Amino acid sequence: MPGFRPGHVPASLVKQRYGKAVLAEEINKVLQDAIYKHIADNKLPVLGNPLPKGEDEVGNWDNPENFTFSYEIGLAPEINVDLNDNIELEYALIDINDELINRQIKDYGKRFGKMSEPEQSGADDLLDVHIQGEGDHAVNANSTITIEDVKESSTQKSLIGLKKGDVVTVNPHHLNSDHEALAKMLGITHHDLHHLEGNVTLTVNAVHHIEPAEWNQELYDKLFPEGTVTNEEEMKAKVKENMTQVFSKDSHWMFKRTAARQLVNHFNPALPDAFMKKWIAMSNEKPLSPEQIEVEYPSYSQGLRWQLIETSIIEKNEIKVTMDEAIAHVKGQYVERFAQYGIPVEDDRLEQMAKELLAKKEEAKNVYDLLFEDKVMHLVKEKCKIKEVLVPFDEFLHRAQHMQG
């Protein structure tokens, strides 16, 4: 210390300056060891971390003798997850009807069609526009609007017959029913979209018309493996086959989320909500107001309750995921990714890449979590009553957006 030779600082001065800090540090170590020993010895299913109840603290830091500290803990509820056929869960399948198939075929035709710039816009045209809005979530973006995708009739009508330089005012929420696509079009976040009020002005920068490509053998071979499709009927069958394969993954994704919500509602595990809200407030890096916690807590508690149910299913049914299964899963992902670019990869190389990815802690956790979830859902489908329902594509898309939101 300044003013004293090393080793000659009076002990009373050291104690005065550093005593409380050293005492607090050592007491904290003793407390942490005691708390977690108590939890381990009593096998307490703790949620979050113990929280100190400062108002119940007893002790004199200036003249330390005995101290008493009180802690609050949140306990996970006991859950008996009995999966059986009395539990009915919905499995949504996209209705691949003629309308949807024809829509896909029309998109194929446009993809390989010829583009022109007519003087005025028609119902099948595209508009390059500058979108300008006002308010707290101001819109200022250059975007492309596909007129036929605008479902609201009066707004669609207002976009027909426009020329370069024309300006029109519209309700932005009428431009696209797909919230994710609309947010990107307007250059704002999904959250801001839900708080967007008022109209926007569209200034037309250009009008584009796509003349669909002529359907012939050359186009069939561009879209499908050469020689597999030679006429319209074969094309429709192939389109339906491809859509069925793609949408089956979407249905599986949807089922995992709807089943989780339905099982949470069915078993309804009760959380120590007051404690969890307090823990969230104290453990969050950024300060959260009570209002923010009230808004965000339902989504958090839904996820936590599903996590408790999923863990119970895994333990009760002794579900395990092996390293070989994890490697096989990662290899399959790499195969799909490389296949998109027509790149063949030897199995030894895939094995090496999979092991390198799984050596990363966070990546490995994501893979194992996914495989555990898939095994849990396989068991759920096996033991519960599954009701398949056909859902129109647009409704399925709306449900998926709601799930993500």
Kindly give the residue spans of alpha helices, DSSP state H, lying in 317-391: 323-339, 347-358, 361-383
How far lies 179's CA from each of 28, 150, 182, 404, in Å? 50, 13, 5, 11
Per the domain annotation, does 165 fall within a domain? yes
Q: Based on the domain organization, do 341 and 382 belong to the same domain?
A: yes
Structural domain boundaries enclosing 41? 12-75
Q: Among the three residues 25, 48, 75, which one is the final residue of a domain in this structure?
A: 75
Per the domain annotation, does 140 fall within a domain? yes
* pLDDT at 304 (0 to 100): 95
Whole-angstrom Cα Rg for the chain = 31
Per the domain annotation, does 106 fall within a domain? no
Q: What is the CATH number of the domain that holds 155?
A: 3.10.50.30
CB-based contacts of 91: which residues, under 8 Å, 6+ apart? 251, 255, 381, 386, 387, 388, 389
Q: Among the three residues 181, 211, 241, which one is the final residue of a domain in this structure?
A: 211
* pLDDT at 340 (0 to 100): 74
- CB 176, CB 182: distance < 8 Å: yes
CA distance 153 to 164: 22
Q: Based on the domain organization, do 368 and 266 belong to the same domain?
A: yes
Q: Based on the domain organization, do 245 and 206 belong to the same domain?
A: no
For residue 60, give both structure tokens: 């004199």
For residue 168, give both structure tokens: 């029109």
* pLDDT at 191 (0 to 100): 74
Other beta carbons within 10 Å of 247: 19
* Domain count along the chain: 3
Q: Based on the domain organization, do 252 and 398 belong to the same domain?
A: yes
Per the domain annotation, does 171 fall within a domain? yes
Positive or negative torsion for Cα 183, 186, 189, 191: negative
CA distance 304 to 300: 6
Other beta carbons within 10 Å of 59: 13
| Residue in this structure with the two tokens 């609007």, named with its chain if needed | 145
Per the domain annotation, does 249 fall within a domain? yes
pLDDT (tens place) for every residue of the chain, 405 residues total: 788 888 888 888 877 788 788 888 998 999 999 999 999 999 999 999 999 887 777 878 777 888 888 899 999 999 989 999 999 999 999 999 999 999 999 999 999 999 999 999 999 999 999 999 876 567 899 999 999 889 889 999 999 999 999 999 999 999 987 777 888 899 888 778 877 888 999 999 999 999 999 999 999 999 998 899 999 999 999 999 999 999 999 999 999 999 999 999 999 999 999 999 999 998 888 888 899 999 999 999 999 999 999 999 999 999 999 999 999 999 999 998 888 777 888 999 999 999 999 999 999 999 999 999 999 999 999 999 999 999 999 899 888 877 754
Nearest to 131, CA basis, from 83, 99, 175, 84: 175
Q: Among the three residues 26, 48, 75, which one is the final residue of a domain in this structure?
A: 75
pTM: predicted TM-score of the whole model, two decimal places: 0.74
CA distance 260 to 252: 12
CA dihedral 240, 100, 339, 368 (to 10 degrees): -100
Q: Based on the domain organization, do 205 and 129 belong to the same domain?
A: yes
- CB 210, CB 112: distance < 8 Å: no
Tell the burial category of 270 from Cβ atoms under 10 Å away from its Cβ (0-12, 13-18, 19+).
exposed
* pLDDT at 3 (0 to 100): 80
DSSP H or E segment with residue 145? strand 140-146
Residue 318's Cα: distance from chain center in Å? 28
* pLDDT at 321 (0 to 100): 96
